[in-house]
């Protein structure tokens, strides 16, 4: 149903009526109204109120703390599904039948290995390289090994690139992890499921195969499901933006990995652990909170652009913390985290700004207990997000409404001026 909105230009007072369709104003509508020589535009740094696409993949109601993939609540999927089942759902719009799931799992298993030549590229990184840098470069390098990805308009080529990406992300991540520890690579094991194989490639030793623990494999499946997609966040926006100039999936996802690396996005769980270590003990939490309120620092793992309520993913992660700690032993930083959360949920500063724990608040504690160093945390976010990026990429590529991403600016620089030769500049 269309409605109208009356807009008055602040300087000239000229008025114009805009049509509102399905709760949005189309940019083309705004551009039609040319007041004072300039078409109307929105000024929206960070796109806090600008929709750049229609999407049928993920639904978030930030006020209510709701997250759904293709209409299924995240808690239901986390309870009943595997990560690959959810990846199938994101990509195809429907949950797979048992036969479809087996075929999809088999397809992913056949693509797990990375090209031999890529291993020499991986070996060339310094031992100190951040695993996200290794992941980002290797995913970009995939395009040189699988140039067929450029045929993204062909559904078969596109689907092959997607399967390759999802299958090889854990292999790359495990290689990056082992490189940091100076350990030899471990090849994928075809008999193991997606998450069990990932744990095997990460932790198996020549004299000691990785001992599979069902609770830990399940915890990894749940973490992967929670991180699989989150509609138009910073990294997904990067993927779509790079796709908009006509790029292959690997180049786009490499950009997504770069965006995810930042501490305000996927890097936050690494920052949470750093923060907890700096606080050091429960009795210093009050002092830390005072510093946050005075604007000296941020409480990492708190606050979200979209959620103005408890992040539903944080709730699920918090509930698996105890299961994991039962097997791995309790992470002593948990007490500090719980005390921080208690303050945060009670204190006027956080309550009035509607700042709640986000997905990163507890995930780092679990990852550390599982034996990962902090620099791997964002990698553990990127591996499952590959399915979300791939689904969003596919939706973008097949969306006739989409165009090359090219935001407007409001120019604040000099007006045209005379060039002064270098000898005459004072
Ligand atoms: N600690 C203290 N104050 C905060 C925090 C925080 N974590 N987050 C927001 N605020 C305050 C801001 O200072 C601001 O206060 P003001 O109105 O007095 O100036 C107000 O809350 C609004 O904050 P914005 O920065 O405008 O909110 P925005 O939506 O732009 O930022 C973000 C969201 C980046 C996630 C922010 O909350 C933050 O920096 N959080 C910590 C980092 C983090 O945990 N990131 C992970 C997000 S989840 C993910 O990416 C997977």
224-257 pLDDT per residue, tens: 999 999 999 999 999 999 999 999 999 999 999 9
The predicted structure's pLDDT at residue 15: 81
Q: Measured in angstroms, how far is the CA atom of residue 290 from the centroid of ligand 1?
A: 16
The tokens describing 310, both together, are: 């408890």
Token reading at 404: 């090359």
Work out the pLDDT band at 107, boundaries 50, 70, 90: very high
What pLDDT was estimated at residue 402?
92
* Cα of 14 from ligand 1 centre, angstroms: 37
**Rounded to the nearest whole angstrom, what is the distance from the C-alpha of residue 227 to the centroid of ligand 1?**
19
Query: Which pLDDT belongs to residue 79?
Result: 96
pLDDT in tens, 302-326: 999 899 998 999 999 988 888 888 8
pLDDT of residue 381: 95
Residues lining ligand 1, judged by CB closer than 6 Å?
264-266, 268, 292, 298-305, 353, 355, 358-360
Residues 6+ apart with CB under 8 A from 46: 305
CA distances 326 to 3, 213, 222, Å, are 56, 12, 17
pLDDT band for position 393 (50/70/90)?
very high
Nearest residue (by CA) to ligand 1, atom 50, is 265
Q: How far is CA 53 from CA 155, 236, 354, 392, 402, in A?
A: 21, 12, 27, 10, 7
Interatomic CA distance for residues 241 and 254, integer angstroms:
12
Cα 237 to ligand 1 centroid, rounded to whole Å: 19
Q: Does residue 12 have a pLDDT over 80?
A: no
pLDDT band at 156 (very low <50, low <70, confident <90, very high): very high
Q: pLDDT tens-digit profile of 136-147?
A: 999 999 999 999
As a whole number of angstroms, the longest Cα–Cα distance in the chain is 79
150 Cβ contact list (under 8 Å, min separation 6) = 143, 248
Neighbour tally for 163: CB within 10 Å: 18
Residue 265 annotated as catalytic: yes
Is 304 assigned a catalytic role?
Answer: yes
Q: What is the pLDDT of residues 85-106, one digit of tens each?
A: 999 999 999 999 999 999 999 9
* Predicted local confidence at residue 34, as pLDDT: 73
Using 50, 70 and 90 to split pLDDT, how confident is the model at 382? very high
User: Which atom of ligand 1 sits closest to the CA of residue 358?
Assistant: 48
Using alpha carbons, list the distances in angstroms from residue 321 to 128, 132, 317, 336, 379.
30, 25, 6, 14, 19
Per-residue pLDDT at 37 exceeds 80: no
Catalytic option among 360, 399, 414, 418: 360
When pLDDT is cut at 50, 70 and 90, the band that residue 118 belongs to is very high
Cα of 90 from ligand 1 centre, angstroms = 28
Please choose, from the candidates 145, 103, 105, the residue with its C-alpha nearest in 3D space to the C-alpha of residue 121: 145
Residue 336 has pLDDT above 90, yes or no: yes
Nearest to 361 by CA among 392, 338, 330, 379: 338
Q: How far is the CA of 304 from the centre of ligand 1 (A)?
A: 6
Q: What does the pLDDT average to over 19-46?
A: 80
Which of these is catalytic: 111, 265, 323, 347? 265
**CA distance linking residue 306 with residue 314, whole number of Å:** 14
The rounded distance, in Å, linking the Cα atoms of 397 and 399 is 6
Q: pLDDT averaged over the chain?
A: 92
Confidence of residue 331 (pLDDT cuts 50, 70, 90): confident
Among residues of the chain, what percentage have pLDDT more than 70?
A: 99
Ligand 1: residue whose CA is nearest its atom 3: 298
| Nearest protein Cα to ligand 1, atom 36 | 303
Query: How many angstroms separate the CA atoms of 198 and 214, rounded?
Result: 13
Confidence grade of residue 423 (pLDDT, cut at 50, 70, 90): very high
Q: How far is the CA of 298 from the centre of ligand 1 (A)?
A: 8
CB 380 within 8 A of CB 367: yes
207 is catalytic: no
Name residue, tokens 């992890």: 177
Q: Which of 293, 303, 377 to mutate to test the pocket of ligand 1 (most atoms within 8 A of CB)?
A: 303
Q: Which residues pair with 58 in a beta bridge?
A: 69
> Which atom of ligand 1 is nearest to 233's Cα?
50
**Relative to the CA of 303, which ligand 1 atom is closest?**
37
Q: How confident is the model at residue 212 (pLDDT cuts 50, 70, 90)?
A: confident
Note the pLDDT of residue 112: 98
Among the atoms of ligand 1, which is closest to the Cα of residue 298? 1
Question: Residue 38 pLDDT > 80, yes or no?
Answer: no
Nearest CA to ligand 1 atom 44: 301
In angstroms, the CA 340 to CA 277 distance is: 13
- pLDDT band for position 148 (50/70/90)? very high
Atom 22, ligand 1: which residue's CA is nearest? 353
> Which pLDDT band, with edges at 50, 70 and 90, does 1 fall under?
low
- Judge contact between 119 and 134, C-beta under 8 A: no
Average pLDDT over residues 333-351: 93
Give the percent of the chain with pLDDT over 90: 74
Comparing C-alpha atoms, which of 394, 178, 378 is closest to residue 271?
Answer: 378
Residue nearest to atom 35 of ligand 1 (CA): 304
Does residue 2 have a pLDDT over 70?
no
Q: Which are the contacts of 343, defined by CB distance < 8 A and separation ≥ 6? A: 285, 286, 289, 350
Top mean pLDDT of 7-16, 122-131, 157-166, 406-415 is at 157-166
Of 88, 48, 54, 50, which is closest to residue 72 (Cα–Cα)? 88
pLDDT at position 174:
96
Q: How confident is the model at residue 42 (pLDDT cuts 50, 70, 90)?
A: confident
């Amino acid at each position: 149903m269309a409605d109208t909105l009356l807009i008055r230009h602040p300087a000239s007072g000229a008025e114009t009526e805009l049509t509102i369709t399905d709760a949005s104003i189309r940019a083309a509508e705004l551009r039609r109204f040319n007041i004072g020589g300039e078409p109307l535009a929105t000024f929206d740094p960070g796109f806090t109120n600008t929709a750049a696409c229609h999407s049928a993949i993920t639904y978030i109601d930030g006020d209510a703390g709701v997250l759904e993939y293709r209409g299924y609540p995240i808690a239901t999927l986390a309870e009943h599904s595997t990560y690959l089942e959810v990846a199938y759902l994101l990509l195809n719009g429907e949950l797979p039948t048992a036969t479809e799931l087996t075929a999809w799992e088999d397809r992913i298993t056949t693509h797990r290995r990375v090209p031999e030549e890529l291993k020499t590229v991986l070996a060339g990184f310094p031992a100190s390289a951040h695993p996200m840098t290794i992941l980002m470069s290797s995913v970009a390098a995939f395009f040189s090994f699988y140039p067929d990805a450029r045929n993204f308009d062909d559904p078969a080529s596109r689907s092959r690139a997607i399967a390759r990406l999802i299958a090889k992300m854990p292999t790359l991540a495990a290689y990056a992890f082992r490189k940091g520890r100076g350990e030899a690579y471990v090849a994928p094991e075809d008999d193991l499921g997606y998450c069990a194989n990932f744990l095997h490639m990460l932790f198996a030793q020549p004299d000691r195969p990785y001992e599979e623990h069902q609770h830990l494999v399940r915890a990894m499946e749940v973490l992967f499901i929670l991180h699989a997609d989150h509609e138009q966040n910073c990294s997904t926006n990067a993927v779509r933006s790079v796709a908009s100039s006509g790029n292959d999936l690997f180049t786009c996802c490499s950009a997504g990995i770069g965006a995810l690396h930042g501490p305000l996005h996927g890097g936050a769980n690494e920052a949470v652990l750093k923060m907890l270590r700096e606080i050091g003990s429960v009795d210093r939490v009050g002092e830390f909170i005072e510093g946050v309120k005075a604007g000296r620092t941020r409480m990492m793992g708190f606050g979200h652009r979209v959620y103005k309520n408890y992040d539903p993913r944080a709730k699920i992660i918090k509930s698996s913390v105890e299961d994991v700690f039962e097997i791995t032993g309790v992470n002593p930083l948990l007490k500090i985290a719980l005390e921080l959360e208690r303050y945060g949920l009670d204190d006027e500063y956080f309550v009035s700004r509607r700042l709640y724990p986000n997905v990163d608040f507890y995930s780092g504690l679990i990852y550390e207990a599982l034996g990962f160093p902090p620099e791997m945390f964002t990698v553990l976010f990127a591996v499952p997000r590959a399915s979300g990026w791939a689904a969003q990429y596919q939706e973008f590529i097949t969306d006739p409404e989409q165009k090359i991403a090219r935001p407007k600016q409001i120019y604040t620089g000099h007006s045209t001026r005379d060039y002064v030769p270098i000898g005459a500049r004072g």
